[in-house]
Amino acid sequence: MRSLRSRLSALWLMLAVSGAATAYLLVESFQQSTNARVARAQDLVISGCRDIADRYQFFVSGWRGAPVDDRLKQDLLAVVQSALTAKPGVEGGIWQAGSGSLAYAYPTYEGTGPKTDLPAAELSVIQSVNAETQRSGRPDTIRTAGRSQTLIVHGCPLRGPLENITAWTMTRAATAEGPAYTHLLAGLLVLALTLLGSALWLSWILVSWSRRIALIETALGGATMSADLPHLPHTGARELDRLVDAVNDAGHRLSAERSRAAAAERLAAVGRLSANLAHEIRNPIAAMRLKAENALASSDPARKSSALEAILQQVARLDALLRDLLAMTHASRPAARPVDLASFLQSTIETHRELAARRGLQLRTVVPAAERAPCFDPSQMQRALDNLIINAVQSTTAGGEILVAAEIGDGRLLFRVTDSGPGIDASVRDRLFEPFVSSRADGTGLGLAIVREIARAHRGEARLGQGSNGTAFEISLPCQPS
């Protein structure tokens, strides 16, 4: 599914594409407008040159011959002025090859006074267009594009008694001036500001929402040790705050339901514990009663002594059962302190070496290299490992191996007791850590329950590990370096 970031990025991309297309259309529209202005200007100079030619033909219609002097030039100047009077922005004249300009006029010049001098900057272009017109005998146009305007010079041949005579007209078409150019710049500026504003606005939304969502993620991820949902702070965004309120409300309801479920589970556990405890106590009591009755009915002193020994064994069994039960139900708070793992594990397995040796088992440890000693209650943890090691010794046949290992990684301390025995019966696998559940006929079923309570007191967990063969029990604790 697409994220909010990708959707906002796609929206900004669409805005950018739309802006680019709009800018392209604006530029094309302006270009077409410029081309139209240049075309109109070219039509205007062609029309002006044609008017000069028409008036020149009328002027020379009754020609009787005269030298090219100042008087003739004045007459030709009048011809050019009359032809260009109605052509705004057009200047022109009459040109003779070899003699140069015979007449020049710019009747619509907007400066102070009439303009009588040929434009020096465009003189070479004027010469070129008149020379080409004289050579070909046909009208010719030279168009030169500049940064802000296009220069258009047109020449046309003149028929008459004067030799090598041509007329020329010239104008300038603005390409970067006028209302169209102003509108183009204004449109592009508005478009650029719109795109920039949209980009900044979308970026602000994206960064703001990302930061607020990160706050929610941090609050949710900071409660890894608790099963309840944490209380999320408000972000300041109305939509997200509605979601935060819904999550907080769901967390309150979940916590209440969890409390009710825990109370119900405790009641159910008390019921099962009471039933199992009654069963565990009833059997030794029945055995002691039977032994006592037999001893009273017999006059043999040896039989009475045997009965008393059997009664004492059952009393010891009841005492051990009650001790384990009290240890499970009244687990004290752990007194955590820095512990050297190597010496701790070594001292833990030393108490079981003799038992393991009598059963033909090998007992060894694996200790990780740690820069700092982890913190936990060594007496409680040793009791938990004692239970696991005793279970492993009792479940493993001669020639087997028991491995007691510790691992540190991902902020966790892991104890693992692995044996090479036959494994756990599938019928009790899911209930191993419940009180009075045991896979051995002679077991009380409280050893693993005590291990679980000690692990929980350390804010950890006890579980059945994954092993290729045999059985592996694990105790996972938060690693708290000293």
**Delimiting residues of CATH 3.30.565.10 domain(s) in the chain:** 337-478
Q: What is the pLDDT of residue 225?
A: 47
pTM, rounded to two decimals: 0.42
Q: Is the separation of the CB atoms in 436 and 446 below 8 Å? A: yes
**Angle CA(94)–CA(100)–CA(101) in degrees, nearest 5?**
35
Give me the CATH topology for the region 238-329.
Helix Hairpins (1.10.287)
How far is residue 116's CA from residue 291's CA, in Å, rounded to a whole number? 150
**Delimiting residues of CATH 1.10.287 domain(s) in the chain:** 238-329
Domain 337-478, CATH: 3.30.565.10
Average pLDDT over residues 89-100: 91
How far is residue 428's CA from residue 439's CA, in Å, rounded to a whole number? 7
Tens digits of per-residue pLDDT, 44-90? 999 999 999 999 888 888 766 667 788 888 888 999 999 999 899 99
How far is residue 43's CA from residue 373's CA, in Å, rounded to a whole number? 97
User: DSSP readout, 110-176?
Assistant: -SSS---SPPGGGHHHHHHHHHHHHHHSS-EEEEEE-SSEEEEEEEEE--SSSSSEEEEEEEEEESS
**Delimiting residues of CATH 3.30.450 domain(s) in the chain:** 4-180
Q: Is the separation of the CB atoms in 315 and 288 below 8 Å? A: yes
Q: Which amino acid is at 177?
A: E
| Residue 294 neighbours by CB distance under 10 Å | 14
| Residue 65 neighbours by CB distance under 10 Å | 6
Tens digits of per-residue pLDDT, 1-40? 456 667 777 777 887 787 787 777 766 666 667 787 888 8
Highest-pLDDT range among 91-100, 113-122, 438-447: 91-100
How far is residue 338's CA from residue 479's CA, in Å, rounded to a whole number? 11
Judged against a pLDDT cut of 80, whether residue 466 lies above it is answered with no
Tens digits of per-residue pLDDT, 166-222? 999 999 887 766 566 677 677 778 878 887 888 788 788 778 777 877 777 777 776
Average pLDDT over residues 384-406: 87
Say whether domain 4-180 belongs to CATH 3.40.1130: no
Mean pLDDT, rounded, of the chain: 80
Look at residues 170, 31, 26 and name the one whose alpha carbon lies nearest to residue 89: 170
